[in-house]
């Protein structure tokens, strides 16, 4: 499809994609695939039942309320509530969003994300609507702060963990026409909410391309600008900065102790879904990064997603995070983000504080699960064994 960026900031993307860039993407995909294959190794391919996480429910509610308390204070002090009427200009919205972050204590808001995942699985297991309320509230809370990325992340978390329990998911969300309609309505409402955040932030008022607003958004979120950004970087049209030799990859651990401007590969891109994860690997090691780091990415994310089948809190959250890293790799690097490191640390704390260990005699059988005529695992097996 022919495209033209009308904004002077993005005019460099009108040059198209070079052949070298396509070659680099092919190499990257092959490297990721090899890493993922190596992560599987000789693991058994037979199906197995994934246990539901067994947690201290009182403690889970306490963690949720802790995240809610920090969120409430931050929101009240930020001034975001005054922008909900739609009368505020884009500058006021940006200032309010910046005020929402009050320092290190704000990281405790991530308890909302983690508890939402566990409550979602609890709802699938017990079919009690009270466990769905924290999930709905968390998504709504992030929409009120106009954070589309966090909303999309939570959606991916829920899709990933739900996919571990396919039979239960089909029963809960697609078991009859009413459940189908409710599930479809939830997706539509979330889509409307994301469009609303764009409108509140004034993004729809910015003329970027010759496309209509809908096609423009589809073009941007397809990842096409990221591909164009990468091409401009490889061809030297955009500056890359000096190689960081691993500092970008480990920036989540050193974020508070270094000059952060040196760890920002997309600082020359002027915004708009800055670039693929390849830009970060290029920023670290140039061609060596493009060749080798995708292998490590494929290996690590596959291992994390495989570990989620244990049904424990930390492996579940780690696997969901890896899934987000894969899906969002078309736009950015998730694994190495400082927020991701903190998120996994909080999940580890919750795992140690809340997880109820299973008795040895109650461990899941390693033999092939019983199959019935329907072709599914024995009806209710997931629920009973969870």
**For residue range 143-152, what is the model confidence (pLDDT) as tens digits?**
999 888 899 9
H/E segment holding residue 297: helix 287-307
Residue 1 pLDDT: 76
- Across the range 154-159, mean pLDDT stands at 95
Cα angle at 32 between 28 and 35, to 5 degrees? 140
Alpha-carbon dihedral 122, 126, 130, 135, rounded to 10 degrees: 30
Report the predicted TM-score, pTM, of the whole model to 2 decimal places.
0.85
CB-facing half-sphere around the CA of 158: CA atoms within 13 A? 23
- Is pLDDT larger for residue 161 or for residue 221? 161
Residue 43 pLDDT: 67
- Is pLDDT larger for residue 257 or for residue 344? 344
Residue 359 pLDDT: 55
CA–CA distances in Å: residue 261 to residues 54, 241, 257: 43, 10, 12
CB 266 within 8 A of CB 274: yes
Percent of the chain at pLDDT > 70 equals: 89
- Mean pLDDT of the chain, nearest integer: 84
**Residue 123: helix, strand or coil by DSSP?**
helix
Residue 385 pLDDT: 39
In whole angstroms, what is the distance from residue 355 CA to residue 384 CA? 18
**Residue 134: helix, strand or coil by DSSP?**
helix
Burial class (CB in 10 A: 0-12, 13-18, 19+), 77: exposed
CA–CA distances in Å: residue 26 to residues 187, 311, 386: 33, 35, 41
């Amino acid at each position: 499809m022919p495209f033209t960026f009308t904004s002077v900031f993005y005019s460099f993307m009108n040059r198209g994609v070079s052949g070298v860039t396509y070659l680099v993407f092919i190499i990257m995909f092959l490297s990721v695939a090899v890493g993922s294959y190596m992560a599987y190794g000789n693991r058994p391919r037979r199906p197995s039942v994934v246990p539901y996480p067994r947690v201290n429910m009182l403690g889970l509610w306490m963690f949720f309320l802790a995240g809610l308390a920090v969120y409430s204070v931050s929101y009240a002090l930020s001034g975001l509530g005054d922008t909900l009427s739609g009368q505020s200009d884009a500058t006021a919205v940006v200032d309010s969003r910046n005020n929402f972050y009050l320092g290190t204590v704000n990281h405790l808001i991530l308890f909302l994300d983690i508890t939402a995942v566990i409550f979602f699985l609890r709802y699938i297991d017990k079919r009690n609507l009270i466990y769905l309320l924290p999930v709905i509230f968390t998504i709504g809370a992030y929409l009120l702060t106009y954070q589309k990325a966090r909303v999309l992340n939570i959606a991916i978390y829920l899709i990933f963990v739900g996919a571990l329990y396919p039979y239960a998911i089909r029963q809960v969300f697609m078991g009859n026409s009413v459940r189908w309609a409710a599930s479809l309505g939830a997706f539509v409402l979330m889509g409307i909410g994301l469009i609303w955040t764009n409108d509140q932030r004034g993004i729809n008022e910015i003329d970027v391309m010759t496309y209509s607003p809908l096609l423009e958004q589809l073009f941007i979120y397809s990842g096409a600008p990221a591909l164009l950004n990468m091409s401009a970087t490889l061809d030297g049209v955009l500056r890359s900065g000096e190689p960081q030799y691993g500092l970008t990859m480990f920036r989540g651990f050193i974020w508070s102790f270094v000059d952060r401007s040196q760890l920002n590969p997309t600082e020359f891109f002027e915004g708009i879904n800055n670039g693929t994860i390849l830009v970060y690997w290029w920023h670290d090691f140039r061609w060596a990064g493009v060749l080798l780091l995708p292998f490590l990415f494929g290996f690590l994310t596959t291992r994390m997603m495989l570990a989620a089948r244990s049904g424990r809190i930390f492996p579940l959250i780690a696997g969901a995070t890896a899934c987000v890293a894969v899906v969002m790799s078309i736009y950015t690097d998730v694994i190495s983000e400082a927020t991701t490191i903190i998120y996994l640390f909080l999940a580890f704390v919750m795992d140690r504080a809340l997880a109820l260990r299973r008795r040895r005699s109650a461990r899941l059988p390693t033999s092939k699960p019983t199959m019935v005529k329907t072709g599914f695992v024995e009806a209710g097996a997931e629920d009973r064994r969870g």
